[in-house]
Amino acid sequence: MTRVPGSVPPRVGSGSNGAAAAGAAAAGAAAASRAGTSAAGPASAAAPSSSTVPRGPRAIDELDVLIRARYPIIYVVTWEEERVEQQLARIATTRNKKLFVWTCTQGIVRAGSEPQSSKSGSGSTSDPLAALDTILSHVEPALYLLKDFHPFTEDIRCNIATIRRLRDVAYQLRDTYKTIVIVAPMMRLAPELQKDITILDFKPPEVADFNRLLDRIIEDVKDKPQVKINLDADGREKLVHAARGLTLREAENVFAKTLVIDGKIDADDVSVVFSEKQQIIKKSGLLEYFASQEQLDTVGGLENLKEWLVKRSMAFTERAAEFGLPSPKGVLLLGVQGCGKSLCAKAVSSLWKLPLLRFDVGRMFGSLVGSSEENMRRAIQTAESVAPAILWVDEIDKAFAGSGGSGAGSDGGTASRVFGTFLTWLGDKTTPVFVIATANDISHLPPELLRKGRLDEIFFVDLPSEAERVEIFRIHLEKKSRVPDGFDLALLAKRSDGFSGAEIEQAIVSGLFDAFSHGIELDTPTLANSLAETVPLSKTMSEQLSRLRSWAQGRARPASGTIATGSTEVRRKIEL
């Protein structure tokens, strides 16, 4: 569907479920603030204030509050229909209401009644219009959970009758003790419904939920002699924290899997939990789990950047948090093509021992599934669900090209809205997701990204200096199993003035081809020759480079400790 900017219906965050109310009040407050964050997308921020839901002190009871305040139709966005149903059942019991469930196969049935074959179900209400009529005709106080109703609220022509009926029902339910709760994994809402339906983001389960789940599983298997439970408080904490971001069902699956694999549950099972998270990332289709072998010592030069990164290696530990360190937000690596920006992103993942998630923004825009804004939200949620993690947004300038300025680009402002969602998240995020963005060109980047506070630092990655080039030759010769000391590295570094790391690597490869075809071993002259045959990009793009350099001066921190030679500047040819 196409969504009209600024007309997204009121969206409120929910804490997890009622049972999680056992969590500390502080956790509730944190959940509330997180929920606030997720609701603060630019589009939803623009929703009219008259229709926003007043926030109670404890976000965890949001669903209960909305029902008691008689919001007629609530749309809960979550995969976890079971948890929603459980929570509704609790609310129904305390408020003395009946709970009905509608599915398109069963029609309306009392919650908890035995599932029947779809043929014998109450077929008369399986049609959405008939179901809505039945809801209207019921008299007693009741809650109606509609599962998979979202195809009927979508903005397509054939839904026109259902949409109209829903609006009528919303109006009529206001004076009754009946509430409709639609639960669906994604939001599909026609613009006509936006004022009648309240959206609730159902937060993923919290540590307390996982603890309860683990207790239940342990209780279930404790009499089986072949199963060993070896969990001290520390191990349990690790396991439960690793499970954060999974749905309860996914967590149950993965705990069961650990039992099946080795007949025990202990702290080592954290790795099994992480492998489950890779699955989540794969399924999301927007992020790519990037397993990288690159180490920081395979990056030549860039001492300032490396030092900055090394200093923050322990920043995501509990100890650092106790010490009062905020978790780093992210960096922007700005600079010349082929100078190691992407390489650094890969290396930092192994340095910090955190999963690296590559965010393919282009694919997000091009995706046939869901709108770009929803995809952005989903990508962010996925990244947060596996936190702590590194979110690598490669070539952010190209990804969001067109999002700058008034926002009314050729795409109707989609890029700018999506980028706005990203920036809002970046500014407010409290989850330990470290963002590494890389860019070649600042002219496409909206200034908001460069504002202080969004990211921790902007590094300018220039062409390598002579000393750095020696290092880069050393690294790549070693990678090709050659002994670097057998080469005149000083000479090669001199001859490669203006070359990027990628071009040096390329020159070595073409030197290897030359040597191989001539039947000789790779040596300095062959390499010098292949350097001479290469015209580095910095020569052809010298103007762009000087523009970038002069922009970076005073605005960005140099990634290298040493200054690159200015060989690429356009030099005046004076005839003497």
Ligand X SMILES: Nc1ncnc2c1ncn2[C@@H]1O[C@H](COP(=O)(O)OP(=O)(O)OP(=O)(O)O)[C@@H](O)[C@H]1O
Angstrom CA distances, 507 to 441, 474, 478, 503, 520, stand at: 25, 13, 14, 6, 17
* Token pair of 311 as six digits: 């200093």
Q: How far apart are the first and last CA of the chain?
A: 69
* Token pair of 406 as six digits: 């008034």
Of positions 375, 440, 530, 568, contacts ligand X by CB under 6 A: 440
Provide the minimum distance between the beta carbon of 514 and ligand X in the complex, in angstroms, as a whole number. Answer: 20
CA–CA separation, 349 vs 425, rounded Å?
A: 22
Provide the minimum distance between the beta carbon of 390 and Mg ion in the complex, in angstroms, as a whole number. Answer: 15
Residue 342 binds Mg ion, judged by CB under 5 A = yes
Residue 23 binds ligand X, judged by CB under 6 A = no
Question: Of the ranges 17-25, 30-38, 500-508, 548-556, which one interacts with ligand X (CB under 6 A)?
Answer: 500-508
Question: Of the ranges 98-106, 264-272, 339-347, 352-360, which one interacts with Mg ion (CB under 5 A)?
Answer: 339-347
Closest CB to ligand X: residue number: 501
Report the phi/psi class of residue 200: left, alpha or beta, with left for phi > 0 and alpha for psi in -120 to 50.
beta
Of positions 44, 342, 416, 424, contacts ligand X by CB under 6 A: 342
Q: Which of Mg ion, ligand X, none does residue 475 bind to, with CB < 5 to 8 Å depending on kind?
A: ligand X
Judge contact between 44 and 166, C-beta under 8 A: no
Residue 296 binds ligand X, judged by CB under 6 A = no
Taking only Cα atoms into account, the Rg of the chain, rounded to an integer number of angstroms, comes to 29
Report the phi/psi class of residue 523: left, alpha or beta, with left for phi > 0 and alpha for psi in -120 to 50.
beta
What values do phi and psi take at 566, rounded to 5? -85, 35
One-letter amino acid of 88? L
Question: Of the ranges 95-103, 315-323, 341-349, 521-529, which one interacts with Mg ion (CB under 5 A)?
Answer: 341-349
Judge contact between 209 and 248, C-beta under 8 A: yes
Provide the minimum distance between the beta carbon of 307 and Mg ion in the complex, in angstroms, as a whole number. Answer: 21
* Token pair of 52 as six digits: 């926003």
Residue closer to Mg ion (CB basis): 342 or 371:
342
Residue closer to ligand X (CB basis): 15 or 340:
340
Residue closer to Mg ion (CB basis): 284 or 342:
342
Residue closer to Mg ion (CB basis): 380 or 393:
393
Of positions 52, 317, 337, 534, contacts ligand X by CB under 6 A: 337
Residue 414 binds ligand X, judged by CB under 6 A = no
Question: Of the ranges 77-85, 134-142, 230-238, 497-505, which one interacts with ligand X (CB under 6 A)?
Answer: 497-505
542, with CB counted inside 10 A (0-12, 13-18, 19+), is middle
Residue 496 binds ligand X, judged by CB under 6 A = no
Residue closer to Mg ion (CB basis): 342 or 375:
342
Residue 148 binds ligand X, judged by CB under 6 A = no
Of positions 13, 42, 301, 370, contacts ligand X by CB under 6 A: 301
Kindly tell me the sign of the dihedral angle through the C-alpha atoms of 446, 448, 453, 454. negative
Length of the chain: 576
- Closest listed residue to residue 238, CA positions, set 202, 274, 264: 274
CA–CA separation, 159 vs 546, rounded Å?
A: 57
Residue closer to ligand X (CB basis): 176 or 567:
567
Count residues binding ligand X (CB under 6 A). Answer: 19
* Token pair of 402 as six digits: 């067109």
One-letter amino acid of 544? Q
Of positions 423, 475, 492, 507, contacts ligand X by CB under 6 A: 475
Provide the minimum distance between the beta carbon of 440 and ligand X in the complex, in angstroms, as a whole number. Answer: 5
Q: Which of Mg ion, ligand X, none does residue 502 bind to, with CB < 5 to 8 Å depending on kind?
A: ligand X
Residue 472 binds ligand X, judged by CB under 6 A = yes
Residue closer to ligand X (CB basis): 342 or 421:
342
Residue 571 DSSP symbol: P
* Helix (H), strand (E) counts: the chain: 24, 16
Residue 299 binds ligand X, judged by CB under 6 A = yes
Residue closer to ligand X (CB basis): 374 or 397:
397
Residue 526 binds Mg ion, judged by CB under 5 A = no
Of positions 42, 245, 355, 501, contacts ligand X by CB under 6 A: 501
Judge contact between 465 and 301, C-beta under 8 A: yes
Strands 73-77 and 197-201: parallel
Question: Of the ranges 250-258, 331-339, 357-365, 508-516, which one interacts with ligand X (CB under 6 A)?
Answer: 331-339
- Residue 180 has a CB neighbour count (10 Å cut-off) of 25
3-state secondary structure of 100: strand
User: Which residues of the shown chain bind ligand X in the complex (CB under 6 A)?
Assistant: 299-302, 337-343, 438, 440, 464, 472, 475, 501-502, 505
Q: Which residues form the interface with Mg ion (CB under 5 A)? A: 342
